[in-house]
Structure 1
Amino acid sequence: MIRLLLKVLGPEHAPPVRRTVALMTTTAIAEGLSYALLVPVLRALFGSEPGDVWLPLAGFGAAVAIYAVLRYVSDLSGFRAGTTLLRAMYHRLGDHLARLPIGWYSADRVGQLSVLASNGVLQAMGVIAHLLAPFISACVTPLTIVAVMLAFNWQLGLAALAAAPVVAAIQVWTGRAMAVHDAERAERRHEAAGRVIEYLQAQPVLRAGGRTTERFRLLDDSLTELQRASRRTVLSALPGVVALALAVQAVFTVLLVLGAYLALGGHIGVPEVLTILVLAARSADPLLSLSDISGKLRGARAELVRLDAVLHTPPLPEPPDPVEPDRHDLEFDSVVFRHGDHTVIDDVSVSVPEGRRLAVVGPSGAGKSTLLQLLARFYDVDAGAVRVGGVDVRAVASEVLMSRIAFVFQAVHLFDGTIEENVRLGRAGATDAEVRAAVTAARLDEVIDRLPGGWAAHVGEGGALLSGGERQRVSIARALLKDAPVVLLDEVTSALDPVNEAAVHAGIERLMAGRTVVMVAHRLRTVRRADHIVFLDNGRVTEQGTHEELLRHGGRYADYWHLSMTPAAD
C-alpha cells in the first residue's frame, strides 16, 4: 500500500511518508510496552503490601503519558503529511491532465475523472491522515503485546502468537473474497451517478412529455443494481468478520484456560495471569477493527490504482530540442489524422500566409474543428505535418505554441468568478488599461454596464449567469488581451441572436486584424471576406479558392452559399 502510494505521489514525497510511518510504528510499540507495566502494578495490588502499588502505578502513568505525547505527535504528523500530499496530488494530477491529448477526454473519462478528482483523491490521500495510524496500531500493538507476553511466560506468549497467522489468513481470505464485489460496486456506483446526471439533464424532455410523475426506468435499474452489488459486498465481508471475532474469542479462551492451569500448578502468579488476560483483552479491540480498516484501505487502494493509471497515461511528447518559430504562416502538409479506426483528416494540404485569413467550411462531421485542434496540437497527426512559421508544431515547446495562438471556441467555458477575472485569463500580467481596451474592443463593456456589480459581477459556474452571446464576448475579450499572432475561430457566431451576433462580429473583426486566422463557420456570410476558403468533406479538401472563385466553380460551396441566402435558411 505504501509502495503504491509513493509510486503515485512520486519519490520526492517519500521522506515525509516514511518519517510518519516510523513515528506511528514507534507510537504503536510504545502503546504495547506501556501495558507491560501493568504486571508490577497488579503484582503489588494483589500482594501482601498493596500500599506499594504507588511507585509502579506512577511508572505506568508516566509510560501512558509518553505514549499520549507520541500519539499526538504522530497523529499531527499524519494530518500534516496528509494535507501536504493532498495538495501535491492535486497539483500533479492537474499538471498531468493539462498535458494529455484532448482526444483522451471522452465523455466516460470526464465523468470518471470528476469522481476521481473529488472523492477519489480525498479517499486515497486520506490514508496517511486517517487510516494509517489505526492500521499500524491494529497490527503492531498486538504484536508488541505478544512480545511482552513471551517475556513474562513463554507458554502464554506462544499461545497468543499462534493467533497471528490465523488473523492474517482470515484477512487475506476476506480481502480476496471482497475484491471482486468491491470492483463491481464501484462500477455500479459510477453507472448510477451517470444515470442521476442523465435524469436531471432530461428534466425538460420528461416534463414536456408530461412524465414528471413517472419513474425513470434506467435510473431505477442502475440504483437497483447498485443496491444488489452493495448487498453482495456486505455478505461477502460477513464471513470474515465473524471468523475474525471467533478467532479472537477462541484465543482469549485458550489464554484463560492455560493461565488458570499454570496458576493452579504454581508455575505463574495470579497477578501475571490477570495481566496477560488484560493484555489479551486490549489486543482484541484493534484486531477486531482490522476488518473495517482493511475494507477502507482496499477502497483507497482501488482509487490509488485508478490515479496511477491516469498518471501513467502518456502525454503528448515534448521536443528534446525545441525550436521557436520566427514567423506565423501556417501549413498543413499531407496531413492524415485517425481517431480509432476512423480517418478524420485524409491527406489535407493547405497553407495560410502570415497575416491572411483561411476559412474552413463543410458539412457537420467533415473534420473542420479537428483541423484547428491539430494546429493547436491538441492531437498529433498520424502522417504529414502541421507547421507554424515553417516549424513542425511537434518541434515547438507547448508553452511557446500556446503563447502564439488565441482560440475562440463555439462553447465558451467561464470560471465562477468576476468578468474581469475571466478576461484576465488571456494574459495574467496585463495592466488595467489593457484589460479595459480589450473589453471595449469586444463590446463587453455594454454587458458590464448593465450588470449589477459591473466589473465585480460574478458570471456563475460555467458562466451560467450570462447569455451565450455575452459569454462569447468575454471569450473574445480574453483573446484580444492575449494578443497572439495566430487566431483560431470555431463556429463563434452559431446560435446567437442578431444583437449579440453583430457585437460578436465587431469583436471578431478587431481580433482578426493583422493576424493569421483560421476560422470554421457554418454561416457562410462570416467567411466571404476570407483570403482563402477550403471546402472539407469526409476529411478531404474537395474545393478551395476565394469566395468569388468558388461561386463561379458552381460546386458544393456554391450550393451551400445559395442555400444560406434563401429566406428559409435565415
Structure 2
Amino acid sequence: MIRTVFGLVPREYTSLTPKLVAAILAQALCQALAYVLLVPVLEALFGGDTDRAWFWTLWLAAAVAGVVVLSYVQAVVGLRIGVGMQHGLQTALGDHLNALPLGWFGTQNAGTLSRVVVENVREVQGLIAYLLAKMLTGVVVPLGVAVGMLFVDWRISLAMLLAAPALYLVNLWANRSYSAADERLHDSASEANARVLEFAQAQPVLRSFGAVGAGNKALDAALDQQRKAATGMLLASVPGLMVFSLCVQAVFLVLVYLVVGEATGSTISVAAAIALIAVSARFIEPLNQAAQLGTALRSAVAAAERVSTLLAEPTLPQADTPVTPGAPSVVFEQVSFGYGDGTSVLSDISFTVPAGTTTAIVGPSGAGKSTVLRLAARFHDTDSGRVVVAEHDVRDQPSETLLGQLSLVFQNVYLFNRSVLENIRAGRPDATDAEVRGAAEVARVDEIAHRLPDGWDTAVGEGGASLSGGERQRVSIARALLKDAPIVLLDEATSALDPHNEAVVVRGVHQLTRDKTVIVVAHRLATIAHADQILFMEGGRIVERGTHAELLDLNGRYAAFWNERSRASGWRLEAAPA
C-alpha cells in the first residue's frame, strides 16, 4: 500500500523519503517517551521528592523539545516532498499522456482524466505531506507507550500490547467494504464530471430539443448516481468508525480498571495510578486519531493506485534512431486492425498513394475509412501488416518526424479557448504573425476575425464554442495551411455546412492539397471525381479500386454509390398535392 505511494515520489525527491520516515518515527518515539515520563514525574511530585522530580522533569523537557524539533523537520520535509510530488506527478502524467497512442483518448472521457490528474494527484500529495505523519504517529506512539510501560508496570504494558493488534483487526473488519464503495464513488464522480462538461458544451442542442434541467436525463442520472455512491461511502465507513471508537473506549476503561485495581490493592501508589490513567489516555488518543484518518488514508491509497494505473498504460514504442523522410508517399501493406474487442475493423488492406497524388476513400458508414487515416498517422499500431509513410515504416519513425510529414484535417475540429491567432499558430508554433495571418486569409478566417469583438485576439471558447462548425473548419484549414506538411490526411466535413462556408472551406482545401500527397475520406462528388485513385471500402475491405471513369464503367458498388449520391445532391422540397 505505502510502497505504491512511495513509488510515485519523483526521483529527485526519493532521497528525502528516508529522512521523512526517520523524522516521523523519531518524533513519535519522543512523544511516547514524554508520555511515559509523566509517571515518574508525577510520582516524585506527589511523593514530595523535589530533586527526583526535577531530574525526571528535565528528561521530560528534553523529550518534548525533541517532539517540537522533529515535528518541524518532518513537516518541512513532508511538505517539500508533497509539493514536488504534485508538480512531478502531473508533469509525469502529462508526458505519459503525450506518449500514449492517440487512439487511446477516444476510449476515455474528460471527467475521468481530469479527476485522476487533478484530484487524485492532490490526494496523493496530501498523503505524503500530512497523512503519513499522523498515521505513523497513531501506530508508533501507542506501541512506544506500551513498551515504555514495561519499566513502570508490566501488567499495564501487557494489556496495552494485547489491545493494539486487537484494535488493528477490528479496524480491518470495520473497513472491509470501503474499497468497493470508494471505487463506485470514483466512477460515478468521473461520469458526473463528464456529463456536466457535456451539459455545458452542448447547450444549443439540449435547448433545441428541450433537454435542459430535469429533462436532461443523462446529467440527472449521473448526479443521482454520484449522490447514491457518496451515501454508500458514508454507510460503508461510519459504522466501522463507530465500532472502532467504541472498542477504543472499551480498552481505555479496561486500562483504568486495572490501574484503579492495583491502586486499591496497594500494588502502586495513588500518584502512580493518577499518572498511569493520564498515560492510558495518551495511549488511546493516537489510536482514535488514526481511526478517524483511516478513511482519508484509504481514499489516498486508492487515488495512488489510479495514478499508478494510468502511468502503467502501455505507450506506443518509440523509435530512437532518427530517419530522413523520403518522397511523401503512403503505402499500406496487408494491414489488418481491430480495436481490441475481438471485432475486426480492417482486413488485409493494401494500397499505394504515390507522392503528389490524391486518393479518395469512399464507402458506407462503418466501412473503416476514417480508421485508415488514423493508422497512417499512427493513432494505433496495426495488428498485422505495415504502414509506410515517406518511405519509412511508421513504427521506425520518431513521432515528431512522422507527424511533421502530416497535416490532419478531421471532421471533429477542436479549438483551444484562446485567440483565433493562437489557434492557427498551433499548426507551426514558430511561425511569424505575418505567416499566421497569410494562412488565415487563404482560409478566409479574416472574415471571422473582423466580426469578433476583439478581432484576432478574441478567445473562441472551450472547443471553439463561439464559432460555428464551418468557422471552426476554416480555422482548422488555416492551421494545416500554416504547417504546410507534404502529406494531407483529410476527413472531408463539408456536407453539414451552409453554402457559403462550404464554398470557403472547399477553396481552402484546394489550396491546402495543391502539390501535396492526399488521402481523403470523400463526401463531395467533385472531390471523388477528380481523385487520381478511388478506393471503395465495405466491411473493412477494399472491394473496388480505380479512377472515377474506370469504376463507373465497372458498374459495381461504386457506380451504385455514385448514382445514389448524385440523386441525393439534387433533392428539393415540393408542395404536397392538393
TM-score, normalized by the shorter chain, greater than 0.5 = yes
The residue number in structure 2 matching 1:562 is 566
Distance 1:169 1:19 in 2: 30
The residue number in structure 1 matching 2:439 is 438
Amino acid at match of 1:566: G
Worse-superposed segment, 217-226 or 77-86? 217-226
Are the aligned partners of 1:150 and 1:157 in contact in 2 as well (CA < 8 Å)? yes
The residue number in structure 2 matching 1:241 is 241
Are the aligned partners of 1:28 and 1:141 in contact in 2 as well (CA < 8 Å)? yes
Distance 2:333 2:28 in 1: 66
| 1:418-470 deviation digits (Å, cap 9, x = unpaired) | 22222222222223333232223322222222222223211111111222222
> Post-superposition shift, 1:3?
0.7
Are the aligned partners of 1:163 and 1:247 in contact in 2 as well (CA < 8 Å)? no
The residue number in structure 2 matching 1:455 is 456
Q: Closer, same or farther in 2 for the Cα pair 1:222/1:427, shift >3 Å?
A: closer
Are the aligned partners of 2:452 and 2:458 in contact in 1 as well (CA < 8 Å)? yes
Distance 2:77 2:9 in 1: 17
| 1:119-160 deviation digits (Å, cap 9, x = unpaired) | 233223331123212111211222222233223333322222
Distance 1:490 1:386 in 2: 18
Amino acid at match of 2:373: L
Distance 2:288 2:257 in 1: 21
> Post-superposition shift, 1:498?
2.2
Are the aligned partners of 2:112 and 2:194 in contact in 1 as well (CA < 8 Å)? no
The residue number in structure 1 matching 2:383 is 382
> Post-superposition shift, 1:264?
4.4
Amino acid at match of 2:421: E
> Post-superposition shift, 1:369?
0.8
> Post-superposition shift, 1:223?
6.0
> Post-superposition shift, 1:221?
6.5
| 1:256-300 deviation digits (Å, cap 9, x = unpaired) | 233234444554444433332222212322211222322222222
The residue number in structure 1 matching 2:334 is 334
Worse-superposed segment, 533-542 or 38-47? 38-47
Are the aligned partners of 1:416 and 1:460 in contact in 2 as well (CA < 8 Å)? yes
> Post-superposition shift, 1:558?
3.0
| 1:89-117 deviation digits (Å, cap 9, x = unpaired) | 22222222233334434556554334323
The residue number in structure 2 matching 1:408 is 409
Are the aligned partners of 1:410 and 1:492 in contact in 2 as well (CA < 8 Å)? yes
The residue number in structure 2 matching 1:514 is 515
Query: Could you say what secondary structure the match of 2:15 adopts?
Result: helix
> Post-superposition shift, 1:360?
1.5
The alignment yields a C-alpha RMSD, in angstroms, of 3.2
Correspondence 1:201-216 to 2 at 5 A: none
Are the aligned partners of 1:404 and 1:485 in contact in 2 as well (CA < 8 Å)? yes
The residue number in structure 1 matching 2:485 is 484
| 1:389-408 deviation digits (Å, cap 9, x = unpaired) | 23221222222111111111
Matched, 1:113 2:113: yes
Q: Closer, same or farther in 2 for the Cα pair 1:457/1:56, shift >3 Å?
A: farther
Amino acid at match of 1:562: S
Worse-superposed segment, 365-374 or 543-552? 543-552
Q: Closer, same or farther in 2 for the Cα pair 1:4/1:528, shift >3 Å?
A: same
Q: Closer, same or farther in 2 for the Cα pair 1:140/1:466, shift >3 Å?
A: same
> Post-superposition shift, 1:528?
3.3
> Post-superposition shift, 1:387?
0.8
The residue number in structure 2 matching 1:138 is 138
Matched, 1:391 2:392: yes
> Post-superposition shift, 1:5?
1.6
> How high is the TM-score relative to the length of structure 2?
0.87
Structure 1 unaligned spans of 5+: none
> Post-superposition shift, 1:378?
0.6
Query: Could you say what secondary structure the match of 1:466 adopts?
Result: coil
Q: Closer, same or farther in 2 for the Cα pair 1:345/1:417, shift >3 Å?
A: same
Query: Could you say what secondary structure the match of 2:388 adopts?
Result: strand
Are the aligned partners of 1:551 and 1:557 in contact in 2 as well (CA < 8 Å)? no
Are the aligned partners of 1:188 and 1:226 in contact in 2 as well (CA < 8 Å)? yes
Distance 1:218 1:403 in 2: 40
Are the aligned partners of 1:523 and 1:564 in contact in 2 as well (CA < 8 Å)? no
Q: Closer, same or farther in 2 for the Cα pair 1:217/1:276, shift >3 Å?
A: same
Distance 2:219 2:451 in 1: 42
Are the aligned partners of 2:407 and 2:487 in contact in 1 as well (CA < 8 Å)? yes
Query: Could you say what secondary structure the match of 1:484 adopts?
Result: coil
Distance 2:165 2:135 in 1: 17
Worse-superposed segment, 232-241 or 526-535? 232-241
Correspondence 1:51-450 to 2 at 5 A: 60=60, 63-107=63-107, 111-190=111-190, 230-319=230-319, 321=321, 323-339=323-339, 340-450=341-451
Distance 1:550 1:78 in 2: 71
Distance 2:385 2:233 in 1: 52
> Post-superposition shift, 1:496?
1.9
Q: Closer, same or farther in 2 for the Cα pair 1:285/1:104, shift >3 Å?
A: same
Residue identity over aligned pairs, in percent, reads 43
Q: Closer, same or farther in 2 for the Cα pair 1:502/1:210, shift >3 Å?
A: closer
> Post-superposition shift, 1:371?
0.7
Query: Could you say what secondary structure the match of 1:280 adopts?
Result: helix
Distance 2:438 2:109 in 1: 39
Are the aligned partners of 1:8 and 1:311 in contact in 2 as well (CA < 8 Å)? no
Are the aligned partners of 1:138 and 1:289 in contact in 2 as well (CA < 8 Å)? yes
| 1:475-502 deviation digits (Å, cap 9, x = unpaired) | 2222222222211111232422222222
Distance 2:572 2:187 in 1: 48
Amino acid at match of 1:371: V
> Post-superposition shift, 1:166?
1.0
Are the aligned partners of 2:2 and 2:301 in contact in 1 as well (CA < 8 Å)? no
Query: Could you say what secondary structure the match of 1:387 adopts?
Result: strand
Worse-superposed segment, 487-496 or 207-216? 207-216
| 1:151-210 deviation digits (Å, cap 9, x = unpaired) | 333332222222111111112222324334444444455556666677778977876676
Are the aligned partners of 1:166 and 1:247 in contact in 2 as well (CA < 8 Å)? no
Query: Could you say what secondary structure the match of 1:162 adopts?
Result: helix
Amino acid at match of 2:512: L
Distance 2:164 2:434 in 1: 72
The residue number in structure 2 matching 1:467 is 468
Are the aligned partners of 1:362 and 1:522 in contact in 2 as well (CA < 8 Å)? no
Q: Closer, same or farther in 2 for the Cα pair 1:208/1:298, shift >3 Å?
A: same
Query: Could you say what secondary structure the match of 2:334 adopts?
Result: strand
Distance 2:292 2:518 in 1: 60
Worse-superposed segment, 329-338 or 423-432? 423-432
Structure 2 unaligned spans of 5+: 574-578
> Post-superposition shift, 1:377?
0.7
Worse-superposed segment, 283-292 or 406-415? 283-292
Query: Could you say what secondary structure the match of 2:99 adopts?
Result: coil
| 1:223-279 deviation digits (Å, cap 9, x = unpaired) | 666655555544444553344223322332233233234444554444433332222
Q: Closer, same or farther in 2 for the Cα pair 1:83/1:421, shift >3 Å?
A: farther
Query: Could you say what secondary structure the match of 2:563 adopts?
Result: helix
